[in-house]
Structure 1
Amino acid sequence: MKPLRLVLAALLCAAPLSAVHAEDHGAYVPETDPLVVRKLEQWQDWKFGFMMHWGPYSQWGVVESWSICSEDVDWCKRPEGEPYVDYVKRYEQLPTTFNPVKFDPELWARIAKDAGTKYVVFTTKHHDGFAMFDTRQSDYRITAPNVPFHSNPRSNITKEVFDAFRAQDFGIGAYFSKPDWHSDDYWSPRWATPNRHNNYDTRKHPDLWKRFTDFTHAQVGELTSQYGPLDILWLDGGWVRPTDTMDNIAEGNAGVPWPQDIDMPGMAAMARKNQPGLIVVDRAVGGRYENYRTPEQKIPDQPLPYPWETCMTLGDSWSYTPNDNYKSSRSVVQMLVDVVAKGGNYLLNVGPDANGELPPVAVQRLHEIGTWMKVNGEAIYASRSVAPYRDGKFRYTRLKDGTVYALYLPDANEKKLPATLRIPGPAPVGGAEVKLLGDDARLAWRREGDTTVVEIPASLRKQTANAYAWAFRLPGAAPLAFEGSPAL
């Protein structure tokens, strides 16, 4: 994944996970396993998730993994004047100085819960191949003897993270990179590594690819059998896929003609044997193993006809960067509202630093977001989209009992609600109590044509000033029940 400041470049250069293609690749294949369908429905109720990119690269404050990829694109840049081979050697030594002694997963979980998030997706292994779990398949791992943190009682970081978040009732998601640039069976030392793809023809060297496939399955098997209940297997590296599913997003800047078929049917079957009902997200590939789609750093213009999740950074970067440019709490809340109104989930990423701490500015933003969620969460959680989804400054959500919420997104200079608010669209049932969330006052309202006109008392306008968004409850404005996503 790439820094936000590079997204425009990514769109122009066919980046590996470019959000511009997120809705385009392959046909969505609805899941038929009733356990997975049920889990997807639960996941859609959670709405707001927390993601963390973390690894030895956090010591340098550089983009995760991509600086060791030799493609000539902005997010793969290295220091001027240093040969590529020398840089990679230095990068691969980062684990020998990685000692995040301030790692406190319980604190992370409390911060994420305070923010109002309901599930976590943690990077168990990124493209550089360093495992943040106690894998038996490789010595390039957090528990290896040459990693200073290996002697810490909490050295099996993935287990500690999952346990801490599970104790706070979070859904648990394991990010896992299908490509592994440290593996000699992916980037073989026999040949150069010109791009993100494996560097040999898998048709000529099926033995190498078979070993890599077995290695990948074994690591996924560890994660799904040794780390407690998992809800989501979040697979990245969408260019690792069969040739017949290749498109521009998978090929990147320099595609390869050979298949990189990782045997997703076998992997998914094994993972679901270990974790019945597991959601599998084979990002950017399409087909039956992409149970929901993940537009990156982008919110679609309209509702999508399948389950989806916008994944987005709180700062500019996915991984820790000193003095990162963090979004305002107001902008995050308004993006969350917009995503949920269109039927999606919102996965917000923060990168911990080299010591294992979440940056103070990010923690403050998360607390501010959570303060808004404590008042307005009933308009977000367990909701689905309802026409017209959005109208001007309004966004709409609905619950199973027929309640619709109209959420008003103010302009940057708009500090108070209007004295008279005109809400287009869904009509409350006659005699319903229309209320502003966070206040028990019953508001005077009437219908004028296709609009609900609500009078806002001066005292309430003053009391709720400077909110990031205001949510109005409109009872009975939708049918009494709804089905899941159209794709389900």
Structure 2
Amino acid sequence: MSLRCLFLTYFAGLTICFSPLAAMAETPAERDARMEWWREAKFGMFIHWGVYSVPAGTYHEKQIGGIGEWIMRQAEIPVAEYRGYAQDFNPVKYEPEAWAKLAKDAGMRYVVITSKHHDGFALYDSAVTDWDIADASPYGKDLLKPLAQAVRGEGLKFGLYYSQAQDWTHPGGAKAGYGEGDSWDDASKGDFDEYLKTVAVPQTEEILTKFQPDILWWDTPVWMSAERAAPLNALLADHPQIITNNRLGGGFRGDTETPEQHIPATGYKDRDWETCMTMNGTWGFKSYDHNWKSTETLLHNLVDIVSKGGNYLLNVGPTSEGEIPQASIDRLHEIGKWMDVNGDSIYGTTASPCRIPVWGRITSKPNRLYLHVFDWPADGKLVVPVEVAHVGACRALADPSKTYQVSASEAGVVVQLTGSALDKIDTVLQLDIEGTPTEIIERIVPGADGKVQLTAADAHGEGSVQQEQIDGKTSLGFWTESQDKVAWYLDLPAGRYQLQATVAAPSTSKLTASIGAAKASVAVQSTGSYQEFESQDWGTIEVAKAGECVFELQPVKAGWRPINLRGVTLTLAE
């Protein structure tokens, strides 16, 4: 797995184009039919497993920082020495049927496992190399086929991850932070094109033929030009129902966006997408990483993602003996219990028709809204900021006998709650409606002091922009793409407004602020890091006409560098 921060560090000079070059002839209706099961599923299991589970984060008695599966690269372990770990990779406790059942019981609908990660080690018997489970380990047999059979036996879909470009063992494979063909070890130096021809392409053909995966999950498209990616993409022609992600490179977009370890603020409006996340701090097993996310956090992540139209791919990292850590098992069982009761509010739903409410999240089906109440209102008043033709009954999924009174107001549909929350993590209410819900925009107005406070929590972001917590305060981060913008909906008096922002930025950057036709150029000054926030004067902007308006911040492409933004204050000038 290649974390965004590692990409920004190692490949800062790499430009990756995601415009389609050679999409297969497919009508929108055919695409919808192919993607239907994936869009219904919402929840899947990621499995990162390999030789890296043997050192488990420790090399020469030293704990190596970073994610567990990157230990070979992080510690620059020589190829010959790393290959020795395979002699201790003997998963005699591997029970593929138990893994498949665990995924099914957790409410997951598909499983994706690493067939080959960046260390180049294959979890199946590959004719391309002897650096695989059958030839290099005492276990001596394929790990993927029995899992594929078990997963499909539970009625789930089966997918494979494949690192097509980055390979730290085979000569010529890309090595993060090194130039093309270079490495820390002469044994793995070589020609990248030869590597693609003799390893990546034939191995991809192998896994497609042997396992007929429903998903092919490429990773790290470093150095992948259109010419280099084309032979890999061409292999998909014989598998017209397969679903692929956006990490092949060379301009081939695949079917899904893959935000990693974060949830975009608004999802992707025109693309299917899937957030992949770890349960602790690592993908591959690290013996000393006990920083486990709570079941509450994992469930809230699932609901948040689904409420924005995405899927959740949640990772487990088995040990070298083939055991999934008990902490992961416990959390998956707890998630499964919640899904048994509330699964209807997840599977087959679409994104919320409105902004994030203060009390939780919303998922949607035709003529039905699911209200995910994270925080039970003290006054019992739940406002859903939508307008509909007619509202019907509202009941709790956990206890359909519990119904709640519903009414309409200028602010939206109001549900009057009684009693207390039925679930401390997420009480789900089913609200029956008629007609397509329309969002009621809540306009921000000046406060009693005349100032207009535009907070990160109230922002409407596009693309990869994410609301995140830094030092307990909400900010807008992961703002990496220059085409992404953020907006606030306002109702203001006319006049000239001073802009004051609270921002953190490791380098200078440029934005354009706009209200209607009025625009102002903004120069963001460096604060030293993404965590060091300071107040900055961003100049002034004119509101020509009183009333409803939209304040937008749009990066200037030529001068854009990512920032974290906590908020902007507009003050009417004297």
TM-score by structure 1 length? 0.77
Q: Which amino acid aligns with 1:407?
A: H
Closer, same or farther: CA 284–120 of 1 in aligned 2, 3 Å: same
Q: Return the alpha-carbon distance in structure 2 between the equivalents of residues 267 and 286 of structure 1.
A: 10
2:282 corresponds to 1:317: yes
5 Å matches for 1:63-78? 63-69=67-73, 76=74, 78=75
Give yes or no for contact 1:384–1:398 (8 Å, CA) kept in 2: yes
Aligned to 2:371: 406
Distance 1:208 1:317 in 2: 28
Instruction: Report the Cα distance in structure 2 between the residues aligned to 1:318 and 1:477, rounded to whole angstroms.
Output: 44
**Displacement, 1:65?**
4.5
- Shift of residue 347, structure 1, vs aligned partner: 0.7
The equivalent of 2:186 in structure 1 is: none
Q: Give the corresponding residue for 2:313.
A: 347
The CA distance in 2 between the partners of 1:129 and 1:378, in whole Å, is 40
Alignment of 1:372 with 2:338, yes or no, is: yes
Is the CA contact (8 Å cut-off) linking 2:170 and 2:195 kept in structure 1? no
Identify the residue that residue 138 of structure 2 maps to in structure 1: 148
**Contact 2:88–2:138 at 8 Å: present in 1 too?**
yes
The one-letter code matched in structure 1 to 2:240 is P
Q: Structure 2: which 5+ runs fail to align?
A: 58-66, 184-188, 438-462, 464-574
Change (3 A) 1:156 1:122: same
Structure 2 CA distance for aligned equivalents of residues 280 and 2 of structure 1: 17
Contact persistence 1:36–1:278 (CA under 8 A): no
Deviation at 1:196, TM superposition (A): 5.0
Q: Among residues 401, 405, 411, which one is paired with 1:450 in the alignment?
A: 411
How many Å separate the matches in 2 of 1:113 and 1:37? 25
SS for the counterpart of 1:384 is coil
Deviations 1:399-432 (A, max 9, x none): 1x3212122222xxxxx56462322223566462
Asked whether the 8 Å contact 1:418–1:456 carries over to 2, the reply is no
Query: 1:419-465 deviations in whole A, cap 9, x for unaligned?
Result: 6232222356646221111111232222222332223332xx26x14
Residue number in structure 1 paired with 2:41: 46
1:392 and 1:158, CA in 2 relative to 1: closer, same or farther beyond 3 A? same
Cα separation, partners in 2 of 1:386 and 1:32, compared to 1, 3 Å? farther
Q: What is the deviation of 1:198?
A: 3.8
Please state how far the C-alpha of 1:373 moved relative to its aligned partner.
1.3
For 1:94, the equivalent position in structure 2 comes to: 85
- Structure 2 equivalent of residue 301 of structure 1: 265
The one-letter code sitting in structure 2 at the alignment partner of 1:388 is C
Task: For 1:319-338, list aligned pairs within 5 A.
Answer: 319-324=284-289, 325-338=291-304
Helix, strand or coil at the partner of 2:383: strand
Task: Report the residue type matching 1:26 in the other structure.
Answer: F
Secondary structure of the structure 1 residue equivalent to 2:45: strand
Deviation at 1:469, TM superposition (A): 1.2
Q: 2:372 is paired with a residue of what secondary structure? A: strand
- Which residue of 2 is the match for residue 13 of structure 1? 9
CA offset at residue 165 of structure 1?
0.8
Match of 2:426 among 464, 469, 481: 469
Distance 2:412 2:176 in 1: 59
Provide TM-score, normalisation by structure 2. 0.66
State whether residues 39 and 231 of structure 1, in contact with CA within 8 Å, keep that contact through their aligned partners in structure 2: no
What does residue 258 of structure 1 align with?
none
Query: Which one-letter code corresponds to 1:91 in the other structure?
Result: Y
Q: Which residue of 1 aligns with 2:199?
A: 215
Aligned equivalents of 2:95 and 2:48: distance in 1?
15
Instruction: Answer 1 or 2: which has greater strand percent.
Output: 2
Q: Distance in 2 between matches of 1:284 and 1:209?
A: 15
Q: Distance in 2 between matches of 1:39 and 1:194?
A: 34
1:73-222 matches, cutoff 5 A: 76=74, 78=75, 84=76, 87-144=78-135, 146-150=136-140, 155-178=141-164, 179-186=166-173, 195=177, 198-199=180-181, 209-210=193-194, 212-222=196-206
| Secondary structure of the structure 2 residue equivalent to 1:385 | coil
Matched-pair contact (CA < 8 Å) for 2:18–2:246? no
Counterpart amino acid of residue 215 in structure 1: V
When residues 138 and 11 of structure 1 are mapped into structure 2, their CA distance, relative to the original with a 3 A threshold, is closer
2:26 aligns with: 33
The letter of the residue matching 2:154 is: Q
SS in 2 for 1:339: helix
Larger helix proportion of the pair: 1
User: Residues 434 and 475 of structure 1 are in contact (CA less than 8 Å); yes or no, is this contact kept in structure 2?
Assistant: yes
Show structure 1 runs of 5+ residues with no match. 70-75, 79-83, 188-192, 246-260, 411-415, 481-486
Instruction: Report deviation, 1:116.
Output: 1.0
> Residues of 1 paired with 2:242 and 2:390: CA distance?
43
2: CA distance, partners of 1:58 / 1:473: 44
Contact kept? 1:341, 1:397, Cα under 8 Å: yes
Worse-matched range after superposition: 386-395 or 311-320: 386-395
Identity of aligned residues (%): 29
* Cα distance change on mapping 1:465 and 1:282 into 2, 3 Å: closer
Is the contact between residue 106 and residue 165 of structure 1 (CA under 8 Å) also seen in structure 2?
yes
Counterpart position of 1:249: none
TM-superposed deviation, 1:289: 3.8
Amino acid at match of 1:129: G
Compare relative contact order (CA 8 Å, sep 6+) and give the higher one, 1 or 2.
1
SS in 2 for 1:311: strand
Q: 1:471 to 1:197 in 2, by over 3 A?
A: farther
Q: Please name the residue that 1:435 is paired with.
A: 395
Superposed displacement of residue 476, structure 1: 2.5
TM-aligned CA distance change 1:132 to 1:206, over 3 Å: closer
- How much does 1:290 deviate? 2.3
Aligned match of 1:225: 209
User: Which secondary structure does the structure 1 equivalent of 2:256 belong to?
Assistant: coil
